[in-house]
Amino acid sequence: MKTTLSIAGMHCASCANTITKALKKTKGVTDANVNFAMKKATIEHDDAATEEQLIKAVTDTGYQAMPDAMTGMKHDMPRGTSHQGMQMPAGHEGMSPSEHLHHQESEKLTRRLVVSAIFAIPALIIAMLFMDDGLLFTGIELPYAPWILLLLATPVQFYAAFDFYKGTWIALKNKSANMDSLIVVGTLAAYFYSVYALFTGGQQYFEIAAILITFVLLGKVLEARATSKTNAAIRTLMELAPKQATVLRGKREVKISVDEVQQGDLLLVRPGEKIPVDGVITSGESSIDESMVTGESLPVDKKKGDTVIGATINKNGTLTIKATKVGTDTTLAHIIRLIQDAQGRKAPIERFADTISSFFVPAVIVIAVLTFITWMLLGSAFSFALIAAVLVLVIACPCALGLATPTAIMVGTGKGAQIGILIKGGDILETTHKVRHILFDKTGTITKGTPDVTDVVPIADLTEKELLRITASIEHASEHPIAQAIVRKAKGMTLAKISGFKATSGKGVEASIGKKHYHIGNRAQLNTTLGEVEPKMRALEEQGKTVVVLAHGKTVLGLVAVADTVKETSREAIEELKKLGMTVHMITGDNEHTAKAIAGQVGIESVFANVLPEHKAEKVKELQQQGSVAMIGDGINDAPALAQADVGIAMGSGTDVAMETGDIVLMKNDLRDIPRAIALSRATMAKVKQNMFWALFYNTLGIPIAAGVLYPFTGWLLSPLIAGAAMALSSVSVVTNSLLLRYKKI
Q: Which residue ranges make up the site for ligand ADP (CB under 6 A)?
A: 441-443, 475, 478, 480, 482-483, 506-509, 520-522, 546, 548, 588-590, 613, 635, 637
How many helices (H) does the chain have, and how many strands (E)? 26, 26
- In the DSSP assignment, the letter for residue 142 is P
Strand 421-423 with 664-666, pairing: antiparallel
Give the end-to-end CA distance of the chain in Å, rounded to a whole number. 36
- In the DSSP assignment, the letter for residue 37 is T
Q: Of all helices (H) and strands (E), which one includes residue 75?
A: helix 73-76
Q: Which CB atom, from 294 or from 447, has the smaller least distance to ligand ADP?
A: 447
The amino acid at residue 204 is: Q
Q: Which CB atom, from 161 or from 482, has the smaller least distance to Mg ion?
A: 482
Give which of Mg ion, ligand ADP, none residue 607 binds (C-beta under 5 to 8 Å, depending on kind): none
Q: Which CB atom, from 111 or from 516, has the smaller least distance to ligand ADP?
A: 516
The amino acid at residue 158 is: F
The amino acid at residue 725 is: A
To the nearest whole angstrom, how small is the minimum distance from the Cβ of residue 565 to ligand ADP?
14
Compute CA distances 81 → 51, 75, 360, 488, 606, whole Å.
Answer: 22, 11, 47, 49, 59
Q: Which of residues 459-478 bind Mg ion (CB under 5 A)?
A: none
Give which of ligand ADP, Mg ion, none residue 548 binds (C-beta under 5 to 8 Å, depending on kind): ligand ADP
- What is the spatial distance between Cα 671 and Cα 688, in angstroms, rounded to a whole number? 26
- What is the spatial distance between Cα 297 and Cα 218, in angstroms, rounded to a whole number? 41
Long-range contacts of 263-266 (CB under 8 A, 24+ apart): 263/323, 263/324, 263/325, 263/326, 264/322, 264/323, 265/322, 265/323, 266/320, 266/321, 266/322, 266/323
Give which of ligand ADP, Mg ion, none residue 650 binds (C-beta under 5 to 8 Å, depending on kind): none
The amino acid at residue 540 is: L
Draw the binding track, 414-453, toward Mg ion (x: CB under 5 A; -: no contact): ---------------------------x-xx---------
Of 121, 160, 128, nearest to 145 by C-alpha is 128
Can you tell me whether residue 83 is helix, strand or coil? coil
- In the DSSP assignment, the letter for residue 743 is G
- What is the spatial distance between Cα 523 and Cα 510, in angstroms, rounded to a whole number? 13
- What is the spatial distance between Cα 556 and Cα 507, in angstroms, rounded to a whole number? 16
**Residue number with the smallest Cβ distance to ligand ADP:** 589
Q: Are 314 and 271 in contact (CB under 8 A)?
A: yes
- What is the spatial distance between Cα 15 and Cα 21, in angstroms, rounded to a whole number? 10
Give which of ligand ADP, Mg ion, none residue 522 binds (C-beta under 5 to 8 Å, depending on kind): ligand ADP
Of the listed 441, 663, 670, 673, which one is catalytic? 441
Residue 249: count other Cβ atoms within 10 Å of its Cβ: 10
DSSP for 388-452 reads HHHHHHHHT--HHHHHHHHHHHHHHHHHHHHTTEEE--HHHHHHHTT--EEEEEIIIIIB-S--E
To the nearest whole angstrom, how small is the minimum distance from the Cβ of residue 546 to ligand ADP?
5
Long-range contacts of 373-382 (CB under 8 A, 24+ apart): 374/707, 375/708, 381/203
To the nearest whole angstrom, how small is the minimum distance from the Cβ of residue 253 to ligand ADP?
45
- What is the spatial distance between Cα 415 and Cα 41, in angstroms, rounded to a whole number? 22
To the nearest whole angstrom, how small is the minimum distance from the Cβ of residue 270 to ligand ADP?
41
Count CA atoms within 13 Å of residue 267 on its CB side. Answer: 33
**Sign of dihedral through CA atoms 113, 116, 122, 126?**
negative
Give which of Mg ion, ligand ADP, none residue 507 binds (C-beta under 5 to 8 Å, depending on kind): ligand ADP
Q: Which CB atom, from 259 or from 590, has the smaller least distance to ligand ADP?
A: 590
Q: Which CB atom, from 399 or from 658, has the smaller least distance to ligand ADP?
A: 658
Can you tell me whether residue 689 is helix, strand or coil? helix
Give which of ligand ADP, Mg ion, none residue 588 binds (C-beta under 5 to 8 Å, depending on kind): ligand ADP
Strand 647-651 with 629-633, pairing: parallel
Compute CA distances 450 → 144, 488, 616, 703, whole Å.
Answer: 88, 11, 22, 64
- What is the spatial distance between Cα 21 and Cα 170, in angstroms, rounded to a whole number? 13
Q: Which CB atom, from 417 or from 526, has the smaller least distance to ligand ADP?
A: 526
Q: Which CB atom, from 12 or from 658, has the smaller least distance to ligand ADP?
A: 658
Q: Which CB atom, from 202 or from 613, has the smaller least distance to ligand ADP?
A: 613
Q: How many residues line the site for Mg ion (CB under 5 A)?
A: 5
Q: Which CB atom, from 346 or from 616, has the smaller least distance to ligand ADP?
A: 616
Q: Which CB atom, from 443 or from 653, has the smaller least distance to Mg ion?
A: 443
Draw the binding track, 629-648, toward Mg ion (x: CB under 5 A; -: no contact): -----xx-------------
**Those residues with Cβ within 8 angstroms of residue 334's Cβ, 6 or more apart along the chain or in another chain:** none
655 binds Mg ion (CB under 5 A): no
The amino acid at residue 288 is: I
Q: Which CB atom, from 522 or from 655, has the smaller least distance to ligand ADP?
A: 522
Give which of Mg ion, ligand ADP, none residue 478 binds (C-beta under 5 to 8 Å, depending on kind): ligand ADP
**Sign of dihedral through CA atoms 717, 721, 722, 727?**
positive
To the nearest whole angstrom, how small is the minimum distance from the Cβ of residue 676 to ligand ADP?
24
To the nearest whole angstrom, how small is the minimum distance from the Cβ of residue 466 to ligand ADP?
18
To the nearest whole angstrom, how small is the minimum distance from the Cβ of residue 59 to Mg ion?
49
Q: Which CB atom, from 14 or from 594, has the smaller least distance to ligand ADP?
A: 594
Give which of ligand ADP, Mg ion, none residue 6 binds (C-beta under 5 to 8 Å, depending on kind): none
To the nearest whole angstrom, how small is the minimum distance from the Cβ of residue 562 to ligand ADP?
9
To the nearest whole angstrom, how small is the minimum distance from the Cβ of residue 553 to Mg ion?
31
Q: Are 700 and 366 in contact (CB under 8 A)?
A: no
To the nearest whole angstrom, how small is the minimum distance from the Cβ of residue 525 to ligand ADP?
7
Draw the binding track, 589-628, toward Mg ion (x: CB under 5 A; -: no contact): ----------------------------------------
Residue 488: count other Cβ atoms within 10 Å of its Cβ: 13
- What is the spatial distance between Cα 84 and Cα 69, in angstroms, rounded to a whole number? 14
Can you tell me whether residue 267 is helix, strand or coil? strand
To the nearest whole angstrom, how small is the minimum distance from the Cβ of residue 475 to ligand ADP?
6
Q: Which CB atom, from 296 or from 634, has the smaller least distance to ligand ADP?
A: 634
To the nearest whole angstrom, how small is the minimum distance from the Cβ of residue 445 to ligand ADP?
8
- What is the spatial distance between Cα 670 and Cα 183, in angstroms, rounded to a whole number? 52
- What is the spatial distance between Cα 586 and Cα 566, in angstroms, rounded to a whole number? 13
To the nearest whole angstrom, how small is the minimum distance from the Cβ of residue 600 to ligand ADP?
16
| Residue 441 bears catalytic tag | yes
Instruction: Name the residues that contact Mg ion, by CB under 5 A.
Output: 441, 443-444, 634-635
- Give the active site residues: 441
